[in-house]
Amino acid sequence: MSNAEHKPDIRGHRLDEDELARNFGDLHPPLTRADALIEADRCYFCYDAPCTTACPTGIDIPGFIQKIRSDNLRGSAHTILKENIMGGMCARVCPTEVLCEEACVRNTHEEKPVEIGLLQRYATDPIFDEQTPFFSRAPATGKKVAVIGGGPAGLSCAHRLATLGHEVVVFNRDNKPGGLNEYGIAAYKAIDDFAQKEADYILSIGGIELRNGETLGRDFTLNHLRESYDAVFIGIGLGSTNKLGLDDESLPGIDDAIDYIAELRQADDPGRLPVGRRVVVIGGGMTAIDIAVQSKRLGAEFVDLVYRRGPEQMGASLYEQNLAQTNGVTIHHWARPVELIGEDHITEIRFERTELDDSGRLVARAEYFELTADVVFKAIGQILDLSVLGADMTGLEFRHDRIVVNETGRTTLRDVWAGGDCVSGGDDLTVTAVQHGKLAAIDIDQHLRKK
């Protein structure tokens, strides 16, 4: 094909409304009561259950399933939410296939675990629909804590601090709370504005002041907060995205996947979003899968996902890889982008094949191929934007450009805690961020009560 003839074909409304509605409806429809009871019956009620051990927030999974079985749904939801206040979102977005469901003992002989994620959603949905209050606040302590970031880590921390009797102010960069739950999750995983329902529920505990649109480093600094609050929790996620490191990376048509996903999540009508006919995604994590599948579901004709290593090394689980493939995404392994081609818009991208050498290092093979592209999405990971911390970084320790904390989220500054994606040693999962926020809140509480 001649590059000169290739004009970018990028437009919205590739599919009719009905098809879009189907494509952006619930990825996994909720269980009916009949389904849930049968599925709950499959749980063996294990002793010291492996699923609970595998859950980063330690939800008593056999316990909540037992309560589904006895039609004690409110009790079931409470069992979930007391360990994980975002149990509703986690039921939707957790890679259960590598967490609780991977640990399910049913895998041993039948390779079909109990559908824990779907059961968790079944138990918690009514609570968020009806905003059933479960939690009350301990007597006021008179202490004030600043939480930077309104994502899973920040909201989880704020909720637990509020229940423990502290006053909390959440400084949230965005216009809505929820962080990546609101802006970063594929649309079909959290339909019907669920992230906001969940945030509303969390905030309804009281004692949490949410300040939207206030950004660290622009509107306030860490040191300001340390002066006026008894403790500070940093849950700012990762502010910026990795670069390909190639020439012409600013060519029109080359976009960050997370920006597009955020736009799609905020769009009332997904059909409005322009989508390329030929889309190439670079990366191997959940975001790569999300952008690839969503592009396909918006009507892209060809979606190629290219990852420099093999399927086992992909950050996306095997389940997610299968999801991409059944949605018509072509996954190419062992190739890295080496050249972005186009005059005033991306038209083609050249890849070089890769392999592992004898010592296990990734090396290029000097074999090349090209993919035609109207749009290229970069989904090669995010990094912590250290600039927002500015001069206040003094005293904080970093490892691989992330904040170092101990097991309860304490940083090297005695009144500062941190959690979620911005800390070192995490796995970039919502459920882990929730746990970080929870553990930090418990530690902050103990610290403040000792003072």
- Closest CB to other proteins among residues 104, 340: 104
What is the nearest approach in angstroms of other proteins to the Cβ of residue 116?
15
* Sheet containing 335-341, strands listed edge to edge, beginning at the edge strand earlier in sequence: 335-341, 348-356, 362-372
Neighbours of 153 (CB within 10 A): 36
Instruction: Write the single-letter amino acid at 428.
Output: D
Question: Which of 10, 27, 105, 251 lies at the binding interface for other proteins (CB under 8 A)?
Answer: 105
Q: How far is the CB of 19 from other proteins (least distance, A)?
A: 36
Closer residue to other proteins in complex, CB, 45/319: 45
Q: Is 16 in the site for other proteins (CB under 8 A)?
A: no
Nearer to other proteins, 69 or 92 (CB): 69
Smallest gap from Cβ 241 to other proteins, in A, equals 41
What track of x and - describes contact with other proteins for positions 182 through 221 (by CB under 8 A)? ----------------------------------------
CB of 95 to other proteins, least distance (A): 22
Q: Tokens 């918006």 correspond to what residue?
A: 298
Select the residue interacting with other proteins from 1, 7, 18, 108 (CB under 8 A): 108
CA 124/CA 202 separation, integer angstroms: 13
DSSP secondary structure, 260-297, as one string: HHHHHHH-S-GGGS-EESEEEEE--SHHHHHHHHHHHH
Does 368 bind other proteins (CB under 8 A)? Our answer is no
Q: How far apart are CA 132 and CA 135, in angstroms?
A: 9
Beta bridge partners of 302: 278
Q: Which of 7, 109, 400, 451 binds other proteins (CB under 8 A)?
A: 109
- Dist. CA 422–CA 262, nearest whole Å: 19
Q: Is residue 45 near other proteins by the rule CB under 8 A?
A: yes
Contact predicate 94/430, CB 8 Å:
yes
By CB under 8 A, tell whether 106 contacts other proteins: yes
40 binds other proteins (CB under 8 A): yes
Residues 441/444/446/448 CA torsion (nearest 10 deg): -140
- Residue 46 near other proteins by CB under 8 A: yes
Residue 41 is a binding residue for other proteins (CB under 8 A): yes
111: CB partners within 8 A, 6+ apart: none
Residues 6+ apart with CB under 8 A from 5: none
Q: How far is the CB of 123 from other proteins (least distance, A)?
A: 15
Phi, psi of 405 (to 5 degrees): -135, 165
13: contact with other proteins by CB under 8 A: no
Minimum separation from the CB atom of position 425 to other proteins (A): 24
Using CB under 8 A, which of 50, 75, 274, 381 touches other proteins? 50
Query: Residue 69, interface with other proteins (CB under 8 A)?
Result: yes
Candidates 10, 15, 27, 37; binder of other proteins (CB under 8 A) is: 37
Contact 221, 392 (CB under 8 A): yes
Strand ordering across the sheet containing 416-418: 208-212, 167-172, 144-148, 231-234, 416-418
Looking at 47-55, 125-133, 149-157, 172-180, which segment touches other proteins (CB under 8 A)?
47-55
102 near other proteins (CB under 8 A): no
Residue 112 binding other proteins, by CB under 8 A: no
Query: Considering the complex, what minimum distance in angstroms separates the CB of residue 427 from other proteins?
Result: 23
Total chain residues near other proteins (CB under 8 A): 17
Question: 137 exposed, middle or buried (CB, 10 Å; 0-12, 13-18, 19+)?
Answer: middle
Nearer to other proteins, 46 or 404 (CB): 46
Helix residue spans in 104-192 (DSSP H): 107-110, 116-130, 152-163, 180-183
44 binds other proteins (CB under 8 A): yes
Q: Which residues bind other proteins (CB under 8 A)?
A: 34, 37-38, 40-41, 44-50, 69, 105-106, 108-109
